[in-house]
Amino acid sequence: MYTGAIEIVEVSPRDGLQNEKALIATADKLALIDRALAAGARRIEVTSFVNPRAVPQMADAEAVCAGLPQRDDVTYIGLVMNQRGADRALTTGRIDQLGAVAVATDTFAMANQGQTSDGSVAAASEIIAAAKAAGRTAQVTIAAAFGCPFEGEVAEARVLAMAEALAAAGPVEIALADTIGVANPAHVASLVGRLRDLIAPLPVRVHFHNTRGTGLANVWVAVAAGARTVDAAIGGLGGCPFAPGAAGNVSTEDVVYMLERAGIGTGLDLSALVAANHWLAEVMQRQLPGMVAKAPSFPKQS
């Protein structure tokens, strides 16, 4: 049974840009956020508060926050990996929601944030507590939920055990991330459905990369299985510095086209997203992976 509406979290300013080699100007990041807002985005992952030596693209996190438009109807999300990152994010006064990350395997957890998988669950729980203490909210993403670049297959039971522990910390939602784009629709339907039942009434969010061309199919079955929020990036940019072979996120334009054509509302303006894709392609000086922005509009606009 399909829902009538899905929430989109726009992640292009953070996940879309974090793996780019050429540094993007702070002004361009803020312009991208402005375009996302104009297209109707109301939850935006604006930056991450990580070690700038590890992720140079995010070294301007505080400057990005300082330039954010004052909006009471928008939730600005900052990704944080530890208490230091949480402190930085909260100190800006502009981050409404902390995004914590727990990683499903030890090897990837060590590469991503220098701790074991269990350690990442504990750290995420502490981040959630810090957000609450500061009068903010927090959500958590389980990374490599469908497969790990180092350890391969990840058991559903492991992901669900992590989710149960994380739910006890009180996030506003739990997300499953296909960090390296290996998920298939059958696996997605199974894991999303089991997570939905396990953590209800907490909502399920999903985060898919299109590395092997299955991103949109995975979004579709995730929605059918009960996910109510989908991460996406304008243009389909994205990748992870610590996950070999990870490619772009599902494109916001492509997700919106698919869902809206199927009668599932997103609240986003497709024509504005396509225009944002074309603008961002000029900034990046290359064509972006998203497909809808390369095609003629349909149905034709009068």
Is 65 known to be catalytic?
no
Residue of 55, 204, 206, 240 marked active site: 240
Which of 290-297's residues contact partners 24+ apart within 8 Å by CB, and which partners?
Answer: 290/234, 290/235, 290/236, 290/251, 290/252, 290/253, 290/254, 291/236, 291/251, 291/254, 292/251, 292/253, 292/254, 292/257, 293/235, 293/251, 293/253, 297/271
Tokens coding 108 = 């990837």
> How many Cβ atoms are within 10 Å of 27's Cβ, its own excluded?
11
End-to-end CA distance of the chain: 34
Whole-number Å distance between alpha carbons of 275 and 39: 9
Whole-number Å distance between alpha carbons of 124 and 121: 5
Whole-number Å distance between alpha carbons of 56 and 58: 5
**Torsion sign over Cα 222, 205, 59, 75:** positive
The residues that are catalytic are: 240
